[in-house]
Amino acid sequence: LVRSIKLLDTVDSTQNVAQRLAEEGAPEGTLIIADHQTSGRGRHGRSWVSPAGKGVWMSLVLRPGIPLQFAPQLTLLAAVALCRALKSVTSLEIGIKWPNDLLIGGKKISGILLESTAEDERLRYVIAGIGVSVNLERGDYPPELLDVATSLLIESGGQIERSDVVAAFIREFEHLYALYQQEGFGPIRTLWEALSVTLHKLTRLYSPAGEFEGTPIGLDERGALLVKKSDGSIVPVFSAEMSAPKA
Ligand code: BTN
């Protein structure tokens, strides 16, 4: 899948670089990696701390040819791939907080941002943005993030080669993406559920339609999170923010 890797020094956001290349016709499998981002972005319009030399900041161009409504499946696939990759390069306990944050001891270690461009309800291309806080130290974070964010260095006590993280991610993503194209979302759903730390725990969800409490019980075949409410009804949730899981 990954057929060309562009290593850049400083960019505003690897998402912007990858998007520009995708618009110019870059094929699926084009991977942009930067040493430093000056305006790294996260989900829900947040910024993403991306200091030079300390993390993996990368964006992958995908052209999966699937209907727009299945885009959440790719987000979940990317989370499974990254979780397996980070487990393979560290011996840390890492779990997935829905939909695609990876947590160690309740703190966020990486983030995934999928930005899609569609035409007639079909995905033209998807830019999968991956940020892994590899060798950040406590002083690299703004104080307000210290309770919620961490790095592989802080958790493991040792420096980790960023190239090892990139190689492990490519390996896992290629494997799972091929599986997805052959067998559909079923196997990915099973793997995601096994790695999730947010299932079967009462949680609060902040969705565009309002906020509510419920217990996530799994994923449906589209990739929506199934949440059981206190009245016993089960609702599919495609997009929301979830409160931090209790350890
Ligand atoms: C999140 O958890 O909010 C998602 C964070 C995604 C960060 C990555 S770093 C590489 C790519 N470029 C960006 O500007 N964002 C993504």
Predicted pLDDT at 245: 58
Give the pLDDT of residue 243. 84
**pLDDT surpassing 90 at residue 3:** no
Question: Could you report the per-residue pLDDT of 202-233, keeping only the tens digit for each?
Answer: 999 998 888 999 999 999 999 999 999 999 99
Ligand 1: nearest atom to the Cα of 14: 12
52 alpha carbon to ligand 1 midpoint, in Å? 15
Residue 147 has pLDDT above 90, yes or no: yes
The Cα–Cα gap between 18 and 203 comes to: 35
108 touches ligand 1 (CB under 6 Å) = no
Ligand 1 atom with the shortest distance to the CA of 34: 10
At 6, the pLDDT band (50, 70, 90 cuts) reads very high
Instruction: For ligand 1, say whether the CB of 112 is within 6 Å of any of its atoms.
Output: yes
The response to whether residue 51 sits with its C-beta less than 6 Å from ligand 1 reads no
Q: Please give the mean pLDDT across all residues of the chain.
A: 95
- Per residue in 40-99, pLDDT (tens digit) is 999 989 999 999 999 999 999 999 999 999 999 999 999 999 999 999 999 999 999 999
Cα separation values, 151 from 195, 214, 217, Å: 19, 30, 29
Closest ligand 1 atom, residue 37 Cα: 14
Helix (H) or strand (E) holding 235: strand 234-237
Which residue did the predictor score with more confidence, 246 or 41?
Answer: 41
Answer whether residue 143 shows pLDDT above 60: yes
CB 19 less than 6 A from any atom of ligand 1: no
Closest ligand 1 atom to residue 40 Cα is 14
Domains, in order of start, for the chain? 4-195 (3.30.930.10), 203-242 (2.30.30.100)
Could you tell me the distance, in angstroms and rounded to a whole number, from the CA of residue 99 to the centre of ligand 1?
Answer: 14
What single string gives the DSSP state of each residue in 9-36?
Answer: EEES-HHHHHHHHHHTTPPTTEEEEEEE
- Which 3 state secondary structure label does DSSP give 200? coil
Tell me the average pLDDT across 24-49: 96
What CA–CA distance (Å, rounded) separates 147 from 15?
27
Q: For residue 237, what are the β-bridge partners?
A: 225
Complex ipTM, two decimals? 0.99
189 CA distance to ligand 1 middle (Å): 23
Share of the chain above pLDDT 70, in %: 99
Q: What is the mean pLDDT of residues 132-136?
A: 98
Residue nearest to atom 9 of ligand 1 (CA): 131
Tokens 């110019």 sit at which residue?
Answer: 24
Ligand 1 within 6 A of CB of 60:
no
| Virtual torsion, Cα 164, 169, 170, 173, nearest 10 deg | 160
**pLDDT surpasses 90 at 171:** yes
User: Atom 11 (ligand 1): residue with closest C-alpha?
Assistant: 129
Q: Which two tokens stand for residue 3?
A: 């057929």
| Shortest-distance atom of ligand 1 to CA 131 | 9
Query: pLDDT at residue 247 above 60?
Result: no
Q: Which atom of ligand 1 is found nearest the CA of 108?
A: 2
Token pair in block for residue 51: 């200091």
Alpha helices in 111-204 (DSSP H): 152-156, 162-183, 186-195
pTM over 0.90: yes
Percent of the chain, pLDDT > 90?
92
- For 180-194, the pLDDT digits (tens) are 999 999 999 999 999
Give mean pLDDT, residues 9-14: 98
Cα 161 to Cα 103: distance, rounded to the nearest angstrom: 20
Q: Is the CB of 141 under 6 A from ligand 1?
A: no
